[in-house]
Structure 1
Amino acid sequence: RRWSWGKFAATIRDFWIRILVWLDTFNTVEEAAKVYDSAAIQLRGSGATTNFFHPQLQPPRRETF
């Protein structure tokens, strides 16, 4: 979310303990999104919904012959 003074805030909701976690404010939306992604992966693991593609979250491919 963008604040009136131009910075972008990053927050994430922790559903297990029912709180909103303040991550920080950033100069760009991309910075805020990257920090959100990192927090989402830490909180929710490989099932996290992220803003950017993260190859480590993809299931391994099976070889077919």
Structure 2
Amino acid sequence: MHELPATAPHHTTTMERGSFALARCSCGWSGPARRSRDRARTDATDHERAPSGGDVPA
């Protein structure tokens, strides 16, 4: 998988997998599966705001 440079902007989306929602990013990051769509969106926002696009605490 091709990863974007650390300086590239992060573009996140949320997707559903069965009864779970999860956040994904153009950099290859994927958040944990959540039952709450709102929590998955918060994971995506937190990832975008992290200084290096780092992991979001579970």
Q: TM-score range by the shorter chain?
A: 0.5 to 0.7
Sequence identity (%): 5
Runs of 4+ in structure 1 deviating by more than 2 angstroms, as ranges, are: none
CA offset at residue 35 of structure 1? 0.7
CA offset at residue 9 of structure 1? 1.3
* SS state at 2:16 partner: coil
Q: Give the length in aligned residue pairs.
A: 37
Compare relative contact order (CA 8 Å, sep 6+) and give the higher one, 1 or 2. Answer: 2
- Structure whose CA Rg is larger: 1
Q: TM-score, normalised by structure 1?
A: 0.51
2:48 aligned with 1:34: no
Q: Which has the higher helix share?
A: 1
